[in-house]
Structure 1
């Protein structure tokens, strides 16, 4: 016998919500099904950037944390065993440990945008596969996507494997969102854009690794899709030369959005999440 899906639970006003988020949901009562979305009062914060002071609505924004996974940031992960500097890939950790709770407390949503390839890699083209497997300095074939490294923790960046997990230094919250990507850009061949739009998100703040690869590719595509984009430069890192990072900052400033810092954002978030009292309590 086919099991019926239970109807949505009613909200405090007795209405049933049909949708992924109150900002984008329909509202149903016994009398009417309303397609009118309920407006959200904004929660604005101001952030100085390289070019302007911008104001963003925390409640319509998402913090995109890119690739802070064991295979990229752990000393026994895939990248470390390839000889990639962990000093670079672990650099965002202390910044994010301070930013994440402040962002959540202010009402912002967190999206963990992680590499997560099919075990059979059937949707990865030759270029993607070759760049991961290219021979090392001794001419030996490298370890590619979904393959095991010499110190074997399972297939690299396959969902469910140790390497694809977010590093333990950055605890995830129950209502955080996780999306797996299969390319440098987090918007290709997956559900990320649909999820963000159903959450009513219009602004994306980018953090994680690597600044010049997955972070920048995802930020570019986000801008092409119409999102407002902010690169938090002190919450990002890359083992590439410094001039590469400078070029990314230049391109984001010039074409794709804004470059700011978590250091400047955190105090603004704390102010935004503190209740204001317009009048003193009557002592009577």
Structure 2
């Protein structure tokens, strides 16, 4: 059996027969058929008790649909794209206020009250030029976050969440070896002679060498651009200079403490801030009833995507703002993340599109 035939048979199984019961969809227009047993009529009103995990509205009417289940569903129409406002039921009145954001394949509509902008790992450790960080993609992302994403979030009262590495002694004691390798080793080209081994260390030919410093080790004194010096602190430990938000972003966070919707910050000890080992952010999102997450930060293909993928698997709506993300990986890593966020992991948009949706001036229209 060919792969094409397999997909065809699978699709026929997923698309279920539909009854003629109607469910009016807020903001979509008209009514769509519901699956058998999905709706109940109470006092003449149609209410939805269950929504199948996947369905088309009908074979002859594919202009609107409901996707999901009772506690987590989207509305869709050809004209409006995907409605991610999460009303109580598909027949509820449209959620207001709402914000329509243009994405790569389709527009989406979100409820600002249920939306958060995540700014991930934009710290001195990654961005400070005093530490030799000259990755243009990081600083381009920083500019777009400051000029467009943050002002748009402030104007529409989207929650801003700063998610950064911030280790404790307890974290170091329980750190997985894979994480230690990420920060403590670097690649060496196999076609080049290896560097001289350290005293007591035999030469290795595995293509990796230990860094001089790893997680929790002292950086030492750092000379800033203005000539003053600071203690860099232990790598990515809470309260150190290297783990603090980078200059202008730190100022934005401080300003956010008096915003109408106060900025919040969470520390993490893994690439993902929403993995099973990191529950504080997830608990906050559940408590605040936030459903939609807009992702920015560094590195796109590592900590940003790691958090985005965990969020997606937990049922959150995920949008990657590609011009607010940067990586020091090869270009194909950024492109792969963007490609997979077109549909598989959520939606793909930009900080500039968010600003446009919020009515924030965008001086340069190029994406």
TM interval, short-chain normalised:
0.7 to 0.9
Question: Residue deviations 1:251-270, cap 9 Å, x none?
Answer: 12231100001111102112
Relative to structure 1, the CA distance from residue 270 to residue 76 in structure 2 (aligned partners, 3 Å threshold; closer, same or farther) is same
* Contact residue 220 and residue 233 of structure 2 kept, 8 A: no
Are 1:74 and 2:123 counterparts? no
CA–CA distance in structure 2, aligned partners of residues 102 and 230 of structure 1: 15
Question: Residue deviations 1:143-178, cap 9 Å, x none?
Answer: 211112254510111111111111121121111110
**Number of the residue aligned with 1:157:** 236
SS in 2 for 1:185: coil
Are 1:95 and 2:135 counterparts? no
Q: Which has the higher contact order (CA 8 A, sep 6+)?
A: 1
Q: Structure 1 length as normaliser, TM-score?
A: 0.75
**Number of the residue aligned with 2:336:** 247
After TM superposition, the structure 1 = structure 2 runs for residues 188-267 of structure 1, keeping only pairs within 5 Å, are 188=275, 189-190=277-278, 191-267=280-356
More strand by share: 2
**Number of the residue aligned with 1:119:** 169
* Contact residue 99 and residue 357 of structure 2 kept, 8 A: yes
Match of 1:166 among 245, 268, 272: 245
* Contact residue 136 and residue 142 of structure 1 kept, 8 A: no
Match of 1:56 among 110, 114, 117: 110
CA–CA distance in structure 2, aligned partners of residues 56 and 235 of structure 1: 19
CA–CA distance in structure 2, aligned partners of residues 58 and 169 of structure 1: 25
- 1:135 deviates by 5.0
Are 1:108 and 2:197 counterparts? no
- 1:88 deviates by 2.5
Q: Show structure 1 runs of 4+ deviating over 4 A.
A: none
CA–CA distance in structure 2, aligned partners of residues 129 and 42 of structure 1: 46
Q: What value does the CA root-mean-square deviation take over the aligned residues?
A: 2.1
**Number of the residue aligned with 2:19:** none
Q: Which runs of 5+ in 2 are unaligned?
A: 1-92, 189-194, 196-208, 222-230, 361-367
* Contact residue 152 and residue 354 of structure 2 kept, 8 A: no
Q: Structure 2 length as normaliser, TM-score?
A: 0.59
Are 1:176 and 2:263 counterparts? yes
Question: Residue deviations 1:96-151, cap 9 Å, x none?
Answer: 11221221121111000101112350121111112211157545533211112254
**Number of the residue aligned with 1:281:** none
Question: Residue deviations 1:17-73, cap 9 Å, x none?
Answer: xxxxxxxxxxxxxxxxxxxxxx99632111111111111111110000000111111
Relative to structure 1, the CA distance from residue 51 to residue 141 in structure 2 (aligned partners, 3 Å threshold; closer, same or farther) is same
**Number of the residue aligned with 1:32:** none
Larger Rg: 2
